[in-house]
């Protein structure tokens, strides 16, 4: 650890969203100063940073300034051009590396990396041209067609039941390179967050069980309820193997499907802190954001431990509108009157439907207590109740 960046140094962040904002807060709590490179003048992370470089991610002058000022750089989302990270890596530590981010930007490369790591994923085919559609095996239908790049929160995806629907969906998605995955009977969804340091040391946060509504994460429950402990151990080992195969540095989240027949398959991964890990700010001894800071600074990762059962609820922009479509403020006083409620709003100025505006974490002495309060929160705010029955 002789080359670790100590508190007081500058850290750089590419991207100005809510993940960057929470990483900035974690870095500042450890005594670091943070520069955020982000073109949006009103970004959540830029508002929290010590220095906001308002420029494009590819701006040579801004990148040179960032590299000169900072001792290490990270990214808060995977759609930053990977070559930008490679450019910065020529002069300072970058975590995660551009090569890992490039794989996570491409579903086809991502699935190849799962195979390289010895981790099974869903049966699939890569489709590049209309002719590829005719060669699709019958076993992949019905399936889910996903654009190979630029898809998140359910975007760039279509369910297809037949070859005719596959052709129509491929055309609707612009005829770009896609991945077709077999539609499998799911029993549950899990995610595992692993942090890997420069020295190869790895730690994981406890596995999280997730529920999605409309392709967007709605609820995360920790510890993961109703999941065989052997499957949880398998998921944690798989997440470590995936990170190790990269020689990864930083926080990496891998999402898994638990099938109805009991098999565990990797779904996708994110080279950054993840929405399903937000509970760690309030429920763990070390949050996913502090782990990212420690990894990029070359510090010991510590031993993260869940000290309180937790339920995380996403807060989308829909909450800011009543049944008639008029904008209103959610009932924060009523929610904050409930025990163990932690509210995190991201500083976004304009609520929009399906836009992530914040999250709320409920912690308690037991999981049934946390779920009971989360049900009260959902009732007051009109949130989905998926995952809140404790099953």
107 in a labelled binding site: yes
| 344 and 199 share one domain | yes
According to the 3-state scheme, what is the secondary structure of the chain? CCCCCCCCCEEEEECCCHHHHHHHHHHHHCCCEEEEECCCCCCHHHHHCCEEECCCCCCHHHHHHHHHHCCEEEECCCCCCHHHHHHHHCCCCECCCHHHHHHHCCHHHHHHHHHHCCCCECCEEEECCHHHHHCCCHHHCCEEEEECCCCCCCCCEEEECCHHHHHHHHHHCCCCCEEEEECCCEEEEEEEEEEECCCCCEEECCCEEEEEECCEEEEEEECCCCCCHHHHHHHHHHHHHHHHHHCCCEEEEEEEEEECCCCEEEEEEECCCCHHHCCHHHHECCCHHHHHHHHHHCCCCCCCCECCCEEEEEEEHHHHECCCCCECCCCHHHHHCCCCEEEEECCCCCCCCCCEEEEEEEECCCHHHHHHHHHHHHHHHCCCCCCCCCC
- Is pLDDT of 78 > 60? yes
pLDDT band at 79 (very low <50, low <70, confident <90, very high): confident
The pLDDT, as a whole number, for residue 153 is: 61
Across 236-249, average pLDDT:
97
152 in a labelled binding site: yes
183 in a labelled binding site: yes
146 in a labelled binding site: yes
| 377 and 242 share one domain | yes
| 172 and 233 share one domain | no
182 in a labelled binding site: yes
pLDDT band at 2 (very low <50, low <70, confident <90, very high): low
The pLDDT, as a whole number, for residue 120 is: 98
Across 268-292, average pLDDT:
97
156 in a labelled binding site: yes
For the domain that residue 73 is a member of, what is the CATH number? Answer: 3.40.50.20
The pLDDT, as a whole number, for residue 264 is: 98
Residue pair 158/174 in contact (Cβ under 8 Å)? The answer is no
Question: Which of 6-10, 147-151, 307-311, 353-357 is least confident?
Answer: 147-151
Give the total number of structural domains in the chain: 3
Across 320-348, average pLDDT:
96
Q: Give the torsion through C-alpha atoms of 291, 297, 302, 308, to 10 deg.
A: -30
For the domain that residue 163 is a member of, what is the CATH number? Answer: 3.30.1490.20
Q: What is the pLDDT of residues 6-28, one digit of tens each?
A: 999 999 999 999 999 999 999 99
248 in a labelled binding site: no
- Is pLDDT of 171 > 70? yes
- Is pLDDT of 391 > 80? no
Is there a cis peptide before residue 223, judged by omega within 30 degrees of 0? Answer: yes
pLDDT band at 364 (very low <50, low <70, confident <90, very high): very high
What is the β-pairing status of strands 208-213 and 216-222? antiparallel
Q: What is the pLDDT of residues 47-57, one digit of tens each?
A: 999 999 999 99
Q: In this structure, is residue 388 part of a structural domain?
A: no
Percent of the chain clearing pLDDT 90 (strictly above):
94
153 in a labelled binding site: yes
Q: In this structure, is residue 1 part of a structural domain?
A: no
154 in a labelled binding site: yes
The pLDDT, as a whole number, for residue 186 is: 95
Q: In this structure, is residue 116 part of a structural domain?
A: no
- Among 148, 182, 216, the domain boundary falls at 182
Q: What is the pLDDT of residues 111-170, one digit of tens each?
A: 999 999 999 999 999 999 999 999 999 999 999 999 998 766 667 899 999 999 999 999
| 158 and 191 share one domain | no
- Is pLDDT of 1 > 70? no
| Structural domain of 73 | 10-94
212 in a labelled binding site: yes
């Amino acid at each position: 650890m002789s080359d670790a960046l100590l508190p007081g140094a500058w850290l750089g962040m590419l991207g100005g969203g809510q993940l960057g904002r929470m990483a900035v807060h974690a870095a500042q709590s450890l005594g670091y100063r943070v520069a955020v490179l982000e073109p949006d003048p009103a970004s959540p992370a830029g508002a929290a940073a010590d220095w906001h470089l308002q420029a494009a991610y590819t701006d040579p002058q801004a990148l040179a300034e960032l590299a000169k000022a900072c001792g290490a750089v990270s990214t808060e989302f995977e759609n930053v051009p990977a070559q930008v990270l490679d450019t910065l890596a020529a002069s300072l530590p970058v975590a995660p590396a551009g090569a890992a981010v490039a794989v996570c930007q491409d579903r086809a490369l991502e699935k190849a990396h799962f195979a390289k790591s010895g981790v099974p994923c869903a049966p699939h085919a890569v489709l590049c041209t209309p002719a590829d559609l005719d060669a699709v095996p019958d076993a992949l239908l019905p399936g889910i067609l996903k654009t190979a790049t630029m898809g998140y929160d359910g975007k760039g995806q279509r369910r297809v039941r037949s070859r005719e629907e596959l052709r129509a969906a491929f055309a609707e998605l612009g005829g770009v390179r896609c991945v077709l995955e077999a539609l499998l009977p799911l029993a549950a969804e899990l995610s595992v967050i692993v942090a890997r340091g420069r020295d190869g040391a790895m730690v994981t946060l406890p596995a999280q069980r997730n529920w999605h509504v409309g392709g967007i994460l709605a609820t995360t429950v920790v510890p993961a309820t109703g999941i065989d402990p052997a499957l949880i151990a398998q998921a944690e080992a798989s997440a470590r193997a995936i990170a190790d195969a990269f020689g990864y540095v930083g926080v990496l989240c891998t999402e898994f499907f638990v099938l109805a027949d009991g098999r565990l398959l990797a779904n996708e991964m994110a080279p950054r802190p993840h929405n399903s890990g937000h509970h760690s700010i309030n429920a763990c001894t070390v949050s996913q954001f502090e782990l990212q800071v420690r990894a990029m600074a070359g510090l010991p990762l510590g031993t993260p431990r869940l000290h309180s059962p937790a339920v995380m609820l996403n807060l989308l922009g829909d909450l800011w509108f009543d049944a008639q479509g008029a904008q209103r403020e959610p009932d924060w006083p009523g929610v904050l009157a409930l025990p163990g409620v932690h509210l995190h709003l991201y500083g976004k100025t304009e609520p929009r439907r399906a836009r992530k505006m914040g999250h709320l974490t409920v912690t308690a002495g037991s999981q049934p207590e946390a779920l009971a309060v989360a049900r009260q929160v959902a009732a007051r705010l009109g949130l989905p109740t998926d995952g809140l029955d404790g099953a």
